[in-house]
Structure 1
């Protein structure tokens, strides 16, 4: 790789140049846009990001699961460079181009299920989720949408309504969209009667609530993240997802998998719902689809997708040609470099180390996740009470040592790890060492 794959800390983090840029940002950008770490990046690739002060940090965030193939993957760079020279935009709804069709064909091929499919391309994960709702309502003639505790689906009005966490996503932004209903998620670590009962009891509660409070005959779509992302990387207890999908089939409800964060090899499958053999009616994707360029998609059963009237789907920038070329390069890179296997390898390295840390540090209440989508939940020792203060201190120490980490969780107490799938193993091991040192200090 053109960027040295090494951690290098030459100033305090953030350094003076980043601090100067931060001051400029604060004068030009509203404070509502926050940062995990206010360093200003000048280049990035592989498993590192370099800042304006010359520091090179190990990247355990991937731009929130976006740069899974790296921040400057060679195939992506070359494909985008070539497309820029040809044309940057025409709007697919005005004069179409082949790359949009090729991306749609590829997603129809790769997403779970062997049924006939269609794909619409969009810009963001929230836009994909909103369009999944539009499509489901159009196909069923129903209005109600079912979502789950701890779920996150975006920052637009509808997806903010669908999101479970108030701060920072919803506070002061109401009133919210109607006909959105929330039911329990199978959260093994916090299920009252224990993880062994979680899947069956949570599914029964969810289905009972839908029947009594909404009426299954009124539900257009059930939308769920196969692993809850912003909610804390909660992996639903095994059996929960298949039971909910079965309930949808029995009642003519469109089952939607929100794979915005879990898709494109992140979890050790190409798509997370494949872990239990669940085949969604519609699947929403974004983030890792295009190596950092804005692109999202809804892929689904042809008989559902084709119900929307002509002109009912689209958008000015949806399926931009630069993003389409990037997406084709990403999918080619995932296949050629077997990044599904590399995601599993990352899990094989990280999970045993993290479980060993849990045995050593009582502040770690739970270790969970699959592939390269892993988290630890921090608690007050001897309890399951959330411990956001300990999380903040661990994060501070990691950042100071040149390890970029992210947080999550409904209770603000989850440390999440999303390393690039192309990260060299020596950086992965070094990052885990820094993390262990931070936990020891806390």
Structure 2
């Protein structure tokens, strides 16, 4: 009997082990559910008008530039302007000692008065001889001499008045004024300096900065391709009053004001092979200043039937050639080599390889296998999320919690067979 009590628990443990093995074998024989097709996000390719935009380098230049110079010779006695300030046309900038010019003007005033008196006497003399000639009391030669003296006096008066005007101008030039409105730079000389009317020395420089020019450069090759596409009809000409030019800051942000293209040079730079295009752009806050480097985004044409795809849609094969993944009618994915154009607003312009209506994959590339069907999901915005398992039901969650909370029972033996 003691031996039977020891064998019974062991026998029960063996039966339990065989039962568990049979259950596992039954569960493993149940077929697994079929795998869901991988999801990929796509957009539908569509033709639409897209502006052909070029991003070109350039330099900022003032719309007007004036070098202030002295027009008379003399000593500078005063400076009126604040360096770096805004001045208006006609504002006083420098004062050259006016005393010599006032004296010269007074002298010319006296010469004019003398010439007027001489002319008055000569005119009276000519009139007198004319009366005597009519009475045959004077000869014709006497009258002609008197008339010639009158004409000489008139010429002398005209010369005196011209000298008077020149003296008045010199006195006015002694006050150096701003020739244009704009921002004035630093003073290039100080009070007490001697300036010469025949010297090329500048007193200051004034630049008009609102609006302001941006001189951008473009290669001759790009211009030739653009004109060829316009001539063939592949691109449409954009009206000058519609085309916009935007400047790009160093941090990638856009300048708040847009400009317009004025003209392009007809001569290329022989050293660089580039053509200069001039853009006019508002600068009310003075944020742009001459000489600074700028990048300009300029619209040069319109592609009426362009197909644009997001940049992440473009993949590359082993040879580095661009390609797009397209969902076909049977929901399989095929790779198509494409020819790309420019990047416009963060999207590639596709010149060849896809057509309007194609479903272009833009997300889920890691789940793509050639020849395997996919579940295509049209994306309106954002990114596609991975397939997630279905949420468990309330009864399943209750069973799982009960199983986890139940104490684990292990078979106990009171002895062993030796």
Measured against the shorter chain, the TM-score band is: under 0.3
- Looking at both structures, which has the greater relative contact order when contacts are Cα pairs under 8 Å and sequence separation is at least 6? 2
- Where is the helix percentage greater, Structure 1 or Structure 2? 1
Structure (1 or 2) with the larger CA radius of gyration: 2
Q: State TM-score, norm by structure 2.
A: 0.20
